[in-house]
């Protein structure tokens, strides 16, 4: 999967199942593909305490600000 932009390859969500209701999805981060496409850098703005993590391709109309991953060797 080759990235053609600087944007994230995936949005990261925590999905919480709710009894008798639809699951509740909360976006908590982004994932960027490595240049060699053999892995991802994942940046989270919150830590999930339950539920499951789901990575989905970001929507084109998604206007949420994104945290950029820190390049290797820099802080």
Indicate whether 61 belongs to any domain. no
Asked if 12 contacts 47 with a C-beta cutoff of 8 angstroms, the reply is: no
Indicate whether 39 belongs to any domain. yes
Side-by-side strand order, sheet with 10-18: 40-44, 21-33, 10-18, 52-56
Indicate whether 64 belongs to any domain. no
Helix (H, G, I), strand (E, B) or coil at 69: coil
- Residue 51's nearest CA partner among 11, 14, 12 is 14
Q: Number of folded domains in the chain?
A: 1
Indicate whether 15 belongs to any domain. yes
Indicate whether 5 belongs to any domain. no
Asked if 25 contacts 56 with a C-beta cutoff of 8 angstroms, the reply is: no
Per-residue pLDDT of the chain in tens (75 residues, 90 and over written 9): 444 567 899 999 999 999 999 999 999 999 999 999 999 999 999 999 988 999 999 887 655 544 444 455 554
> Taking the CA atoms of the chain, what radius of gyration do you get in angstroms?
14
């Amino acid at each position: 999967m080759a990235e053609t932009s600087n944007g994230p390859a995936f949005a990261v969500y925590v999905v919480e199942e709710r009894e008798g209701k639809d699951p509740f999805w909360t976006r908590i981060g982004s994932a960027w593909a490595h240049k060699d496409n053999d892995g991802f850098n994942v940046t989270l703005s919150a830590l999930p305490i339950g539920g499951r993590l789901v990575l989905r391709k970001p929507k084109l109309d998604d206007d949420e600000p994104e945290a950029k991953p820190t390049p290797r060797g820099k802080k």
